[in-house]
Amino acid sequence: MAKDLQILPLGGMGEIGKNMTVYEYGRNIMIVDCGVMFPENDMYGIDLVLPDYKYIIDNQELVRGIVLTHGHMDHIAALPYLLQEIDVPVYGTPLTLGLVKRQLEEKNLLQRADLRVLSREETLHLGPFRVSPFAVAHSIPDAVGLVIDTPVGAIVHTGDYKLDETPAGGRTTDLQALGNLTKNGVLALVADSTNADRPGRTETEQVVRDTLNRLFAEAKGQRIIIATFSSVLARLQEIMTLAQLHNRKVALTGRSLLQNVELARDLGYLDVPKNLLVDVTARIPKGQMLILSTGSQGEPRSALNRMSDGTHRQVRIGEGDTVIISGGTIPGNEEDVGRMLNNLFERGANVIYGRMATTHVSGHGSRDEMRAMIEAVRPKYIIPAHGEARHLHLHAQLARDTGMDTGDVFVLKNGIPWLSDGKRAWTGEAIPLDEVYVDGRLIGEIGEVVMRDRQRLSQDGFIVALIPVDKRRQLVGEPQIVSRGFVYLNEAEELISAAQNEIKQQYKRGAKDLRRALEDFFYRETHSRPVVLPRFVNV
């Protein structure tokens, strides 16, 4: 193994989120990104999912550093968890580190952390790895891809990117720098697959600017409220510039938005004209006001959702308001977003969303851009990354379409290492990984059993049957039923007393499996399958 490079994905393969990739050569490890995943709708009660970084903990003495590509949560937000367990230097561009700092502060870890600025002009040496960042266009400024020179060849790790030629902030993906850095050839391309199912090119951010400019003009005399992702910092810049142009003041609402604007401004990534910002309660004519808000996903506690259901403390929505949703709906959030939009319309607002106008474009390149990346890099091998299985496979298909051999295209899973000696490449034995769920303060303690119980409880609730018995295990008195989420007990007296009778009969009959008997009883009566737990109480 000493002479082989190993690339081991701990997250980001077969999922969109918790990106984390381990590069290993000899007794040296460097890590790219350390992100979280937001839970899917069937991950009941889960706040976050972390990559399973047991492998890193077990090999911590080998780790030379963590290099971050950009400051989005799916690339940095697992750091506060990992850095509680190991000490390792973290490298990132200034804005990325600024966002990391805030994450660490919230967990009181900032003192301990060793954060180092990654400069686009310099090459970082981490053991045998030479890491050269190159600028990429993405929906957050200061994003980079990495050329990682290793003893067996150069790896291009794109991070998230698009090839937008008129992006927000004016920073395009630097294909020239990439070309210079890779002029000796590329062993493998590890590339973003997010939009592998979208033909063509992702629309340029310029379209969003033009659309917003038009909508601002049309909303003359109306208050404008724009909801967007607080992390899409480049979009915030556009909106502020346009607001200035249309003689509007800007008020911010939503905690993450306030924090991100402050941070980006302090670091010089956001040019906020003097006197532009006002408080959301400022007495300003509607036609001169613009409120920037969180909540493009209909998140229950977000600012816009609170405005929509009338619980926002400062902003009342009604006629004379134009609400613009400037953020695509993340799969799984459609119903929340839909409900919020309905409420906004019912309050009399003019709402612009979805297909009605291009107020959002993706930060990830589509198929034609992915093809252009492959053709620019001409790698010997390709490892599609950052996508669910369908995206990885479609990216692989695209690579084959460009002429790559099937055997040179590697669709991996988390935990499956890719190895190469520079001449050949192969996959190694999978290391077993767990899903590490964060649920309140519990990290990694909630597993499949609890999740299945929650799923079942969510459908049909539970019944605890308390069965009073004496020392001889004889039934003494009436069984008690404790239940929630099954039926409304106050109106189900008949059912409950029938259940009590069933328990007594089954018990007297000497039923071997009382739980099973009760489950059958409730299914017969209601066609539901609540969680049933009989408990004997010694009286």
Q: Point out the residues that are catalytic.
A: 192, 364
Helix 233-245 and helix 255-266, axial crossing angle in degrees, nearest 10 = 80
73 contributes a contact to a copy of itself by CB under 8 A: no
Do residues 39 and 59 lie in contact, with contact meaning Cβ atoms separated by under 8 Å?
A: no
The residue within the footprint of a copy of itself, chosen from 214, 390, 508, 516 (CB under 8 A), is 390
Phi and psi based region of residue 378 (left: phi greater than 0; alpha: psi -120 to 50; beta: remaining):
left
CA 264 vs CA 231, 289, 442: distances in Å? 10, 22, 32
- Subset of 464-523 contacting a copy of itself (CB under 8 A): 464, 466, 468, 480, 482, 484-488, 491-492
Q: Which is nearer to a copy of itself, 64 or 347 (CB)?
A: 347
Q: Which is nearer to a copy of itself, 348 or 428 (CB)?
A: 348
H, E, C per residue of 461-487: CEEEEEEEECCCCCECCCCEEEEECCC
- Subset of 403-442 contacting a copy of itself (CB under 8 A): 439-442
Q: How far is the CB of 204 from a copy of itself (least distance, A)?
A: 18
Q: How far is the CB of 319 from a copy of itself (least distance, A)?
A: 11
- Subset of 165-204 contacting a copy of itself (CB under 8 A): 197-199
Q: Which is nearer to a copy of itself, 2 or 449 (CB)?
A: 449
Helices (H) and strands (E) in the chain, counts: 15, 26
Q: How far is the CB of 507 from a copy of itself (least distance, A)?
A: 17
389 contributes a contact to a copy of itself by CB under 8 A: yes
Beta-carbon contacts of residue 516 (< 8 Å; ≥ 6 apart)? none
Q: Which is nearer to a copy of itself, 206 or 526 (CB)?
A: 526
Q: What is the dihedral of CA 513, 518, 519, 520, to 10 degrees?
A: 90
Rounded distance between C-alpha atoms, residue 194 and residue 69, angstroms: 16
* Residues touching a copy of itself, count (CB under 8 A): 72
Q: How far is the CB of 483 from a copy of itself (least distance, A)?
A: 9
| String marking each residue 330-369 x if it binds a copy of itself according to CB under 8 A | -xx-xx--x--xxxxxx----x-xxxx-------------
Q: Which is nearer to a copy of itself, 75 or 454 (CB)?
A: 454
450 contributes a contact to a copy of itself by CB under 8 A: yes
* Exposed e or buried b per residue across 337-346, where buried means at least 16 C-beta atoms within 10 angstroms of its C-beta: beebbebbee
Q: What angle do CA 477, 479, 480 make, to 5 degrees?
A: 125
- Subset of 22-51 contacting a copy of itself (CB under 8 A): 40-42, 44-45
